[in-house]
Amino acid sequence: MTGAGAKTDCLMEKLQGIAVSPGVAIGEAVVMDSEGFRIPRRFVARDAVEDELERLQKAIAAVSKDVARKRDAVSKELGGKYGAIFETHLQILQDSGLRSDLEEMIRQRHYSPEYAVSRAFNRYAQVFQRLRSRTHAERANDLVDIEKRLLRNLLGRRREEISHLTLPVLVLAHNLTPSEAANLDRNYVRGFVTEVGGPGSHTAIVAEALAIPAVVGTGPFLTEVSGGDLVIIDGDNGLVILHPDEETVARYHHEADQLRTLAARLQTLRDLPAVTADGVRIDLFGNIEFPYEVDRCLERGADGVGLYRTEFLYLGAEIEPDEDVHYQAYSRVLTTMGKRPVTIRTFDMGADKVPLFPPPEDERNPCLGLRSIRLALRNVPMFRTQLRAILRASTLGNLQIMFPLISTLLELRQAKMVLADVIEDLEEHGVEFDRNVPVGMMVEVPSAVIMIDQFVEEVDFLSIGTNDLIQYTLAVDRSNKDVVGLYNSSDPAVLKLIAMTIQAAKRKKIPVHLCGQMSGNSTYTMLLIGMGLRQFSMTPSAIPEIKKICRSVAVKDCESVARRALCLDNARDIKSYLRDELKKRVPELIQ
Ligand code: PEP
Ligand code: MG
C-alpha cells in the first residue's frame, strides 16, 4: 500500500448523473457518511501538532485492540478462515506507508487527524477500486470499514450531524432518503448529489421542493472527494464537476447569473393569470410536502395547492402524529391559501417513503406491496385519525380530499366507507366540518385507467399521478438509476393512458388535473394543453416557466401538436418533436 496516497493535486473530473432539480450550485463539498455524519475540513495549530499526532496514535491503538478482540472471538466461534478478515484489517492499521502518510498530512499540512484519515483512506480506496478486480473491490470495502472505525473513535461524541451546518455547502452522499433530504438545512445546503437514486424518487421530488440543484444516480464517486473540495452541481444537465478548473468555474458563474436573470423575468408574471393566447384559462397549482411551502406557492403565483403529500408528516417523526399534529399542519395550509383550492392527499407511505414507525416490513417488492391506500386500509385507526383532522380543517378554506394509488373500485369504495364512518362520527359529536368536501382519487395505476369510466361515476375529481403511472405502465422502477433511459413521460403508452383519463373526466364533466413531475416539465405543456388538460399541479418553482408557456401559445396550436405527437410511435421521437415545437414558440426558455 505504501505510496498509494502520495498524489495530492486533483484533476477536474466530470460525472454524469440524472438531473432532478434544476439550477447551478458552486461551493465546498460536505461528504455525508453512510451513518449520517460528516468530516469537516479542519486544520490544527502548529503548536497542537504533537498532541494531535498522539490523539491519532491512541485512536489507531484503540481500534487495533478492538479489531484483534473481534478476530479472536470470530476465529473461536467460526474458525480461522473468518477471523482472517479481521487480521487483514489489523495489517492495514499497522501499515507503515499509511501511518507515514497520515503523519505527513498532520505534521506538514496541519490537517486534523479526522480530515487526514478521511483523505488518506479515500485515496487508498480509490486506487483499489480502479484496479477493478473482485479482490481489490473487497480490499476497498475493508478500507472503508476501518476508516469508519477510526473516525468513530476520533470524533467520539463530537460527530457532526449534517443538520448542524454553519456555512453554505453542497452535500455529497451515497444515498439520501426522502426524509433525510427533507431535513437538510435549507439555510446552508445549496445542492446535493447522490450516487444512487432515480428520476422519480421522492428524494428527487424533495430537492425540487427545496428549490436546490440536485443530481442523483451518478454511480460511485465519493472516494474521489473530500470535505472542503470545490464542486459544481449542474442540475439542468445532471452533471457534477469535481475539482473544477478556473475557466469552468467562471463559465458556471456566468450561467448561474443568466438563470437568475431569467427567473427574475418570469417572476414578473406572478400576478397575471395563466391564460393562453386565445383566451383559455389554465389553473396552475403547487405540489407541497410541508406546510411552509404554501408561502412558496403564493410567491410563485399558484392558483391553489393541487397536491399536499401529507405522508411527510409521518416520515421524520419518531411516533405516529396525532390528530392535533395533522390539524395544525392542514390549518396552516388552508388559512394561508385563503379561498384558493387545496387538495389534501391522504398518506401515501411505503415504497421509498418509509416512516420510522412501525418498523418497516422487509418487503421484497415495496412498490407492489403494502403501500399507500393499501396501508391505510390495513391501519384503519391511523387512517381515521388523519381523516378526522382533514374534515375538521375543512371549515378553514376550500379543501378537497384525495386518495392515492387506487387500483380497484372496491379499494375506492372501502376508502370512501371509512370516510363516511368518520363523517358520521363527527356529526354524532357535533364537530363542525364542511359536508360538501369533494372527494377524488389519483390515477396512477393502469388498472384505474382501464376502468376509468366506472371510476368517474364515483368520484368528484381525478388527479393523474404520472410519476407512478409511468413506473407501473412501463414496469420501470422510478428510483433506479440503471433503468433511467426507460422511464419516459413521453412514451406513447403513457400518453394514451393520460388521454383516456382526460377524456373520461370530460365526458363526465368532472375536473381532472395532472400532478406528477411531468406537469412542471416545459417539454410537455403544449402537449397536455392540446390533450385537453386545464389544471396542472407542480413543484412551485416550476410555475413561472409553465405560466410563460401557457401565455405564449394558443390552444388550437397545442391541439395540432398533440395530434401529431400522438401519431408518433416512440418516446424519443415524441420528446424531440415536442422540444422542437417549444423552441419555435417560446425560444427564450430553451438553453
Ligand atoms: C405521482 O405518482 O405522480 C404522484 C404525484 O405521487 P407521488 O410522486 O407522491 O408518488
Ligand atoms: Mg404516486
Residuewise pLDDT in 10s, the chain (591 residues): 433 333 345 689 999 999 999 999 999 998 886 555 666 667 888 889 999 999 999 999 999 998 898 888 888 877 787 778 788 888 989 999 999 999 999 999 999 898 898 888 878 877 776 776 766 667 777 887 888 888 888 877 555 556 667 789 999 998 888 878 887 888 899 999 999 998 888 888 889 888 899 999 999 888 778 778 899 999 999 999 999 999 999 999 999 999 899 999 999 999 999 999 999 999 999 999 999 999 999 999 999 999 999 999 998 787 899 999 999 999 999 999 999 999 999 999 988 887 766 656 677 888 999 999 999 999 999 999 999 999 999 999 999 999 999 999 999 999 999 999 999 999 999 999 999 999 999 999 999 999 999 999 999 999 999 999 999 999 999 999 999 999 999 999 999 999 999 999 999 999 999 999 999 999 999 999 999 999 999 999 999 999 999 999 999 999 999 999 999 999 999 999 999 999 999 988 765
Identify which of 285, 308, 468, 470 to mutate to test ligand 1's pocket (most ligand atoms within 8 A of the CB).
468
Q: Is 567 a catalytic residue?
A: no
pLDDT for the residue numbered 350: 86
The three cell numbers of residue 589 are 426558455
Q: Which residues pair with 400 in a beta bridge?
A: 343
Ligand 1 centre distance from Cα of residue 8 (Å): 45
Phi-psi region of 283 (alpha: psi -120 to 50; beta: other; left: phi over 0): beta
Angle, vertex CA 397, rays to CA 391 and CA 401, nearest 5: 45
pTM summary value: 0.81
**153-158 contacts at long range (C-beta below 8 A, 24 or more positions apart):** 153/59, 153/62, 153/63, 154/55, 154/56, 154/59, 154/113, 154/114, 154/117, 155/37, 155/114
Ligand 1 centre distance from Cα of residue 349 (Å): 11
Q: Under 8 Å CB-to-CB from 17, ≥6 apart: which residues?
A: 193, 215, 216, 217, 218, 219, 238, 239, 240, 481
CA–CA separation, 317 and 326 (whole Å): 12
Q: What are the distances in angstroms from CA 398 to CA 52, 416, 431, 456?
A: 62, 20, 18, 21
CA–CA separation, 3 and 9 (whole Å): 15
CA–CA separation, 182 and 185 (whole Å): 8
Q: What are the distances in angstroms from CA 49 to CA 117, 153, 157?
A: 15, 18, 22
Q: For every residue of 208-245, which 3-state class applies, written as one string? A: HHHCCCEEECCCCCHHHCCCCCEEEEECCCCEEEECCC
pLDDT for the residue numbered 122: 78
pLDDT for the residue numbered 352: 82
Q: Is 515 a catalytic residue?
A: yes
Catalytic residue among 202, 297, 513, 558: 202
Q: Under 8 Å CB-to-CB from 26, ≥6 apart: which residues?
A: 230, 231, 232, 233, 244, 249, 252, 253, 256
> Cβ atoms within 10 A of the Cβ of 482, count?
11
In the block, which residue shows the cell 444516480?
Answer: 217
> Cβ atoms within 10 A of the Cβ of 453, count?
12
Question: Residue 536 belongs to what H/E stretch?
Answer: strand 535-538
Angle, vertex CA 66, rays to CA 62 and CA 70, nearest 5: 170
Catalytic residue among 297, 326, 515, 558: 515
For residue 372, which atom of ligand 1 is closest to its CA? 10
pLDDT for the residue numbered 137: 66
Q: What are the distances in angstroms from CA 163 to CA 48, 454, 489?
A: 29, 48, 35
CA–CA separation, 333 and 313 (whole Å): 13
